[in-house]
Chain A
Amino acid sequence: MKKLTDKEIQSLLDDSGKLEESHEVELYQRVFRELSTLPDVNVYPLAKDVVKILQKRAERIATIKTYSAISLCITFSFCAFIAGAFVVDRSLALKLLSVLYSYRWVIVFLLIVFNAISVIERKNVSNLP
């Protein structure tokens, strides 16, 4: 009988075809059996840990959104207040603006700090846990 090539043996084993017993075939059968055996590895309880990480992220994102919304509200209210002051008393509004102008670097510094914290927080969220 014609000797089967490696390719033919592999292909017949893949298709669960019938094979004449031989040393080569037996070796391949052992290899195939081992390849189909699940390796001895720990299957960790991933679900609980992953959900915990996702919840933590969601909470951090919600906190960032809340702080961003609060800061936007404060900025908007302040702008509205200045606009209102212009309508009611123009000179008072100008005085207010000049006070703000004298503290411009403090304001710029605070804005930079706030934005930096916000960017760092967002990065931290993507690097969780």
Chain B
Amino acid sequence: MYTDKALIDKILAGNLGAYKLLIAQHGRLVTHMVTRVIGNEDDVKDVSQEVFIKVYQNLGKFNYQAQLSTWIAKIAYSTSVNYVKKYSSKNSIRLDLTENDLPDELTPEDIFNAKNEAAFLQGQIKKLPLAYRTVLTLYHLKEFSYQEIEVITGMPEGTVKNYLFRARKMLKERLGRYYKK
């Protein structure tokens, strides 16, 4: 098992096998992040490839001040946001959200169409604004700290905590209503 430094040195020396190893180590992180941010499974592969091409091109600039996974997540986040900016409406990428920006009321279809609790919650997560989905993914799925999420997304730590709180509260309330159906 190589350290990040040893792996990067090998890649910078032109060893593409070492780069395959780096992709294998961080592929899941990138795929999950891209999936949650762009919300369009058809383009996940293309956007993920673009992320790793950018990582390769900029690896020489990595300065070891953050963890390699944080740096890669930052590139994955900005690439995914750029994709969303290009193909979605302006509202879907707003990062200055208030409580009123949470998705509309729970519809009977939401409850009726969900096969089970997991499917219902995943459906509700998909409906969240981009900033909330990103924060939830980074915090729960990838276990990044608040500071690391700040580095990755550029959102202040207070905003990260606020979005995390609001999104989880909303999901809890929706789940409560799901069981009252």
Contact = CB atoms under 8 A, between A and B. Distances in A.
Contacts of A30: 117, 121, 175
B140 A35 contact: yes
A39 B35 contact: yes
A41 B35 contact: yes
A42 to B, nearest CB: 7
B52 A31 contact: no
B111 to A, nearest CB: 15
Q: How large is the interface on A (under 10, 10 to 19, 20 to 34, 35 or more residues)?
A: 20 to 34
A42 B52 contact: no
Contacts of A53: 49, 53
B20 A51 contact: yes
A32 to B, nearest CB: 7
Given A34-B122, A36-B140, A41 B169 contact: no
B117 A34 contact: yes
Interface residues of B, number: 36
Interface in B129-146: 136, 140-141
B141 A38 contact: yes
B109 to A, nearest CB: 20
Contacts of A32: 140, 168
A47 interface: yes
Contacts of A116: none
Interface in B152-170: 164-165, 168-169
B165 A6 contact: yes
A31 B49 contact: no
Given A43-B31, A54-B19, A27 B141 contact: no
Contacts of A10: 164-165, 168-169
Contacts of B80: none
B49 A49 contact: yes
B165 A27 contact: no
Contacts of A31: 121, 168, 171-172, 175
CB-based closest 5 A-B pairs:
A35-B140, A47-B23, A47-B20, A34-B121, A50-B52
Interface of A: 6-7, 10, 23-24, 27-28, 30-32, 34-39, 41-44, 46-51, 53-55, 129
Interface of B: 16, 19-20, 23-24, 27-28, 30-32, 35-36, 41, 44-45, 48-49, 52-53, 56, 117-118, 121-122, 125, 136, 140-141, 164-165, 168-169, 171-172, 175-176
